[in-house]
């Protein structure tokens, strides 16, 4: 395997890890406006992700940094073409993090209500925007021979990409509700399971429509047909098992299955794209690939050595933090993380 191909796989793994971990963070943020009835319950929900959310976002920063170093042309085309949407994503990430830290600094109801609204809005819009961006990567964007993207509003916002954003949002919501049911006890846990059960049917419908639109409106099934059909089958099986385990109130298994759906969905994006990293809707000759968008061999070699050295420490730290904070919370756990 060439180093450029290896780094494509590593970046895919980083994004999959981000959406698996940050996905339940987004879902918990949304749930603070859906199942919490009191300020103490909202505090409990925030505490359930308190030790984790900032560490989970490191996966996104690492993926962006790896993209910049390993595929500078991909990074330049993507970030310049999506400048405004990505600025909005950055502001939402900042606002959400600040809200987690600031909401309990004052006891006035209006102060806390303002930050609670920011948490819900940011936690809802972020997965939607990420879903839109990844959907555009598969559908294609107007990229010219100079690797410049000239995308208009309808190139980014259209029925296919909106459905992609809605799919990711609902998937994160269910994933987060199951995390809440794993981390809490009593009425909060029961409400989370009930809402997860209600959202499953809309989620199944939206994912089915999105898969059909992907088949009809993109070329990824033509490029990687057999592999993607296997991924669709695996994803459908995991989704069905998630629904079954939710009904059985076995939230641990259900959480694992929704996590598997997230991993399969985003792995399918990268499988369908390979060896491309961005598809040109103008001419396939202008596609960005892992070969024409990559850094030089020496840079990739140095990055590989550094990554192999540091990655075990990062993974070890995250595993340790999840182990330390593995116990369930109740409303008495109102410490302000």
Measured from the Cβ of residue 160, the count of other Cβ atoms closer than 10 Å reads 19
Establish if 336 belongs to a structural domain: no
Write the Ramachandran bin of 186: left for phi over 0, alpha for psi from -120 to 50, otherwise beta.
left
Residue 330 is predicted with a pLDDT of 64
Residue 332: inside a domain: no
Domain membership flag for residue 331: no
Q: What is the pTM of this model?
A: 0.90
Asked whether residue 335 is domain-assigned, the answer is no
How much is the pLDDT for 56?
Answer: 82
Average pLDDT by stretches of 10, the chain with 337 residues:
86 92 92 88 86 81 89 91 90 92 83 91 95 92 89 88 95 95 88 93 95 92 88 94 92 93 94 92 89 86 83 78 70 52
Q: Are 188 and 45 in contact (CB under 8 A)?
A: yes
Give the pLDDT confidence score for residue 57 in this predicted structure. Answer: 84
Q: Provide the pairing of β-strand 288-289 with 276-278.
A: antiparallel
- The reply to whether 87 falls in a domain is yes
Q: Flag whether 259 is in a domain.
A: yes
**Continuous segment of H or E residues that includes residue 289:** strand 288-289
- When divided into structural domains, the chain yields a total of 1
Residue identified by tokens 């598809």 is 279
Residue 236 exposure: Cα atoms within 13 Å on the Cβ side: 11
Domain of 106 in residue numbering reads as 3-324
DSSP 329: B
pLDDT at residue 329, as a whole number: 65
Is 118 part of any domain?
Answer: yes
In a domain, 140, yes or no: yes
Q: Residues 93, 126: contact at Cβ < 8 Å?
A: yes
């Amino acid at each position: 395997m060439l180093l450029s191909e290896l780094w494509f796989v590593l970046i895919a793994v980083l994004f999959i890890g981000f959406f698996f971990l940050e996905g339940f963070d987004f879902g918990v943020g949304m749930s603070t406006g859906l199942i919490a009835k009191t300020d103490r319950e909202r505090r409990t929900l925030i505490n359930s992700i308190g030790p984790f959310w900032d560490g989970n976002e490191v996966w996104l920063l690492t993926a962006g940094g790896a993209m910049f170093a390993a595929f500078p042309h991909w990074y330049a085309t993507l970030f310049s073409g999506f400048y405004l949407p990505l600025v909005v994503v950055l502001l939402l990430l900042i606002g959400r993090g600040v809200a987690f830290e600031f909401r309990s600094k004052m006891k006035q109801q209006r102060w806390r209500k303002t930050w609670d609204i920011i948490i819900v809005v940011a936690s809802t819009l972020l997965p939607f925007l990420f879903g839109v961006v990844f959907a555009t990567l598969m559908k294609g964007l107007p990229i010219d021979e100079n690797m410049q993207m000239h995308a208009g509003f309808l190139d980014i916002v259209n029925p296919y990409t909106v459905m992609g954003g809605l799919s990711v949002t609902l998937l994160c919501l269910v994933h987060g509700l199951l995390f809440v049911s794993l981390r809490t006890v009593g009425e909060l846990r029961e409400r989370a399971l009930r809402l997860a059960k209600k959202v499953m049917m809309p989620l199944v419908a939206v994912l089915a429509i999105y898969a059909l639109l992907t088949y009809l409106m993109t070329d990824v099934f033509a490029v990687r047909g057999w592999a993607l059909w296997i991924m669709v089958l695996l994803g459908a099986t995991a989704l069905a098992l998630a629904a079954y385990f939710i009904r059985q109130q076995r939230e641990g298994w259900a959480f694992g299955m929704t996590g598997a759906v997230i991993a399969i969905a985003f792995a399918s994006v990268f499988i369908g794209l390979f060896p491309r990293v961005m598809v040109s809707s103008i001419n396939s000759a202008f596609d960005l690939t892992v070969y024409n968008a990559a850094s030089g061999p020496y840079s990739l070699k140095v990055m590989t050595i550094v990554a192999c050295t540091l990655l075990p420490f990062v993974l070890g730290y995250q595993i340790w933090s999840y182990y330390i904070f593995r116990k369930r919370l109740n409303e008495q756990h109102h410490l302000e993380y």
